[in-house]
Structure 1
Amino acid sequence: MKERSPQQIVHLDLDVKGWLASPPTVDRARPARCPRCGAAACPLGGGLGLWGHGSRSRQVRGPLAAGERGGLVTIEVRRYRCRRCGATITVVPRGVAPRRHFAATAIGLALLLVGIASAALIEVRRRVSPWSASFDADSWATVRRWLRAIDQGRLFPSVRPSPLAASLRQRAERAAMTLVAMAPFAAEVLEAAVMAGAARAA
């Protein structure tokens, strides 16, 4: 069986709304260098180091901006192949979380609603998820999965794990406030700050 090339994720400095409005060209989205081996994408006097490797559709779920309700959009992300090491690089908009259908911004908002606003999980789901129906009518297990992924370093790796004895709301508050602190601007509205911080932390 042929071994699959290692996957690398690179974020372009363009949010999902901007990507939808004007998808970047192959040249615009091409990273400056391979994130795996460091090879230059366009070395002086040489051929391309990162070749366009097609595109693929990717779902992005949840609100795309503060004050919006959860939705679902599909974007075409760009892919590249490194000629030196063979890595496949996928370029995504700012705020897209690797290996997650929900946007990082939506996850950050959900953590804020649970941890700071003390909203019930059912209400958080209605606000963040594109679907209101669920087999679990009184809860939303996805939030617990996100918190577990944070504690295991698989989501928002810059957010430190919570103490073992911390409750669900305490863990969500700790993560949300860390994301707020990572926002590149001061915002009076916490929702805008946590979403900006989550986009940066993704």
Structure 2
Amino acid sequence: MRIHGHGLVQRQQRGPPGPGQPARTQVLACRRYQCQGCGAVWTVLPASAVARKHFSAAAIALALALWGLCGLGVEQVRGLVNDWKHTGAMPGRWRSLGRWAEQVATGSLFSALEVHVEGPRAPWRPGPRRCCVAMHRPLSEGCHWPGRPSRGPAM
């Protein structure tokens, strides 16, 4: 296989850069390569990026943890993870959050992690505590997030 550099493309990545920091949009320069044999072109993303997602992997994981494990409402989660203030046609909803939960549950997002799904599978209704990703603190320890009082898990 012979590949040559095929330029750079810009890609946005949204979410907080670190715990407790405000969300922001940053522009990443991603390298493209082209196979000289077949002409196929592909883009190499940094480790923080998720293919076909505007949000970083850390931002998606944070959003799911705050919503599913800590029990924060959709608007609160959106305010912490999304720097865009436009709420769309239906305030109080954030379709991406439900899509991400479904994708984690079906293995199409974060497929390298062990996933545990609680509750009925059909029809899928994402909600707090339905989708838990392995490698988190035990739920018995509660959720400790800046600006949120510490408490045990909500049932």
TM-score range, shorter chain: 0.7 to 0.9
1:89 and 2:42 matched: yes
The correspondence for 1:108, drawn from 61, 72, 82, is: 61
Shift of 1:162: 2.3
User: Is the CA contact 2:33–2:43 (under 8 Å) kept in the aligned structure 1?
Assistant: yes
With over 3 angstroms needed to count, the CA separation of the structure-2 counterparts of 1:171 and 1:158, relative to structure 1, is: farther
Task: Name 1:155's counterpart in structure 2.
Answer: 109
1:91-134: CA deviation from partner (whole Å, max 9, x where unpaired):
11111000101111100000111122211111000000112331
Which structure is higher in helix share? 1
Write the distance in 2 (CA, Å) between the matches of 1:95 and 1:190: 24
Structure 1: stretches of 5+ with no match in the other structure: 1-38, 40-48, 182-188, 192-202
Count of residues in correspondence between the two structures: 134
Aligned ranges for residues 16-165 of structure 1 at < 5 Å?
39=1, 49-84=2-37, 86-134=39-87, 135-159=89-113, 160=115, 162-163=117-118, 165=120
1:169 and 2:128 matched: yes
User: Is the CA contact 2:3–2:35 (under 8 Å) kept in the aligned structure 1?
Assistant: yes
| Higher mean C-alpha deviation, range 79-88 or range 146-155 | 79-88
User: Is the CA contact 2:15–2:82 (under 8 Å) kept in the aligned structure 1?
Assistant: yes
Shift of 1:153: 2.7
With over 3 angstroms needed to count, the CA separation of the structure-2 counterparts of 1:86 and 1:180, relative to structure 1, is: farther
User: Is the CA contact 2:71–2:129 (under 8 Å) kept in the aligned structure 1?
Assistant: no
| TM-align CA RMSD | 2.5
TM-score in terms of structure 1 length: 0.58
Q: SS of the counterpart of 1:93?
A: coil
User: Is the CA contact 1:180–1:190 (under 8 Å) kept in the aligned structure 2?
Assistant: no
Q: SS of the counterpart of 2:27?
A: strand
With over 3 angstroms needed to count, the CA separation of the structure-2 counterparts of 1:63 and 1:139, relative to structure 1, is: same
Structure 2: stretches of 5+ with no match in the other structure: 138-142, 146-155
Write the distance in 1 (CA, Å) between the matches of 2:4 and 2:135: 34
User: Is the CA contact 1:150–1:161 (under 8 Å) kept in the aligned structure 2?
Assistant: no
Task: Name 2:152's counterpart in structure 1.
Answer: none
With over 3 angstroms needed to count, the CA separation of the structure-2 counterparts of 1:85 and 1:156, relative to structure 1, is: farther
Task: Name 2:140's counterpart in structure 1.
Answer: none
Write the distance in 2 (CA, Å) between the matches of 1:55 and 1:104: 21
With over 3 angstroms needed to count, the CA separation of the structure-2 counterparts of 1:180 and 1:144, relative to structure 1, is: same
